[in-house]
Amino acid sequence: MEVKKLHRILSEAARFDVMFNTTAVTDKGLKLSIQGKGPQDSLFLYRRLKHLLYGSDVPFKVATARRFDLDDQEQSKKAMTIYIPDHLDHIEFAELVYARIMDYKGWYDIKTPTSYDHYAGGIYYRSDRDGKGKYIPAK
């Protein structure tokens, strides 16, 4: 998607997130969350990561202005969520992501999200499924 068009969508959307590349199987529930403070962080991350995510057939979503306006401080800081397909190792993929956004500063001063482990920079990870595939909400 063209960045200019995405900027407009992120600013005006009634929904919290815009989903991309939703065809991969992600039954294990492993995901990366990249923290941010506003739509400008979502755009930065999209620009830096779109080629990696599309090229690896990885589903992801970017936050709209509406998400950043949430009263829930923790949920309002998720600038991008990346859903790791079952055939990929989430730690190895987190390193590929980090290599592309090492200079990203949008996550500074944001607390670690509950139920997530810190990888590096603004990147956190967790599985939202138990051993039987049942969804586990963040606490």
**Of 40, 86, 87, 34, which Cα lies nearest the Cα of 60?**
34
Nearest to residue 48, comparing CAs of 99, 83, 122, 1?
Answer: 99
Per-residue pLDDT tens over the stretch 5-60:
888 888 888 899 999 988 776 777 899 999 999 999 999 999 999 999 999 999 99
CATH of 3-127, one of 3.40.190.10, 3.40.630.30, 3.30.2430.10, 3.50.50.60: 3.30.2430.10
Question: Buried b vs exposed e over 109-137: b needs ≥16 C-beta within 10 Å?
Answer: ebeebeebeebebbbbbbebbeeeeeeee
Q: Across all residues in the chain, what is the average pLDDT?
A: 89
Q: Return the domain boundaries, the chain.
A: 3-127
